[in-house]
Amino acid sequence: MNPKNFLVVAALFSLAPSFGYASGHGPVFALATPTNPQGGFSFDTSFMGRYSGGSGTMFRGTLGYGITENLKVSVSAPLVFQGENFAPSRTAAVTPMGGDFEVLGLWRFQRKDFGVGKRFETTTIGGLLLPGPQADSGPLKGVKSRPGALIGVVSGVTSRSHYVWAGTTYQRYAASNFERRPDLLFYTFAYAYRPESWRKDNGWDWRLFGECTGERLGALQRASADVSGSRSNQVFVGPTTLGVYKNYAVSAGVQFAVYRNVGPIYPRERVRVAINFTWFF
């Protein structure tokens, strides 16, 4: 799917109805600390694209539920429109750019309020990655898939006008028949600014982000040996935006590669695009 078709499909989904009240104020690509209110559901529809000489495009739906104000669980499932040969990646916040199903828990175990509307908080992330029915492509094609696990942490300071988050996750898969999918260290930083004139009690409430994400991909293993050239290290930066209106939230952004140390078995990725629509109920 080319970038133009990607945007058309995303625009059609933006017409879907929604229920409840919005409470999520997170970035597009980077990790963040917000959770759902107790008893509150959220449903995210995420469209993600990666582009270079070729392209890869996918959709992922995520259902979240707030067990308490500080404990959230989520389940996500993918639909890969166009397979891609790029190095495995998370691409958009806590969702991978790949065929895995995910079951995650987010626990905000630390929160300190200071001043009006200002707080410092920390959230841990953990969960299971389960192979989906769609086959991998590129260097991972034919590799036996087994479940994996993810752990991570993110901290940040938020106020009515400024937001700063930094976090990291690490995921690793079980081996199968002497094969193992690569592990992945994912690290992010995000800063957002929300001018006073943009803070709306009625109408859309917007903020602008600058986001940086990095990935250190481990080696692909076949016959219990590392595949030569299967490690990679990449850093992406770019602008994003988030708008919230009652029970709606829409976010979108683009990232460009600023550092690439990619083995010869993967194409050199240049641009990432993500569009996300959220319903709270």
pTM above 0.85, yes or no: yes
What span, in angstroms and rounded, lies between the C-alpha atoms of 159 and 46? 26
C-alpha distances in angstroms, 16 versus 19, 44, 45, 62, 65?
A: 10, 12, 10, 15, 20
Helix, strand, coil share (%) of the chain residues, nearest 5: 5, 55, 40
How much of the chain, in percent, has pLDDT values that exceed 90? 58
Strand partners for 272: 50, 255
Domains and CATH numbers, the chain: 3-10+21-280 (2.40.160.40)
Q: What per-residue confidence (pLDDT) applies to 133?
A: 78
pLDDT tens digits, 152-206: 999 999 998 999 999 999 999 999 888 999 999 999 999 999 988 887 778 899 9
Q: For residue 54, what pLDDT band results from cuts at 50, 70 and 90?
A: low
pLDDT digits (tens, 9 = 90+) for 85-112: 788 888 777 777 778 899 999 999 999 9
Please check whether residue 99 is in contact with residue 132, taking contact to mean a CB–CB distance below 8 angstroms.
yes
How far is residue 42's CA from residue 64's CA, in Å, rounded to a whole number?
A: 5
Which 3 state secondary structure label does DSSP give 53? coil
SS3 assignment, position 27: coil
Residues in the chain: 281
Question: What's the pLDDT score for residue 6?
Answer: 42
pLDDT tens track for 219-265: 999 988 999 999 999 999 999 999 999 889 999 999 999 999 998 99
Alpha-carbon distance values, 266 to 53, 140, 166, 256 (Å): 11, 10, 28, 17
pLDDT per residue over 112-146, tens digit each?
A: 998 788 999 999 999 999 988 776 767 777 777 78
Confidence of residue 26 (pLDDT cuts 50, 70, 90): confident
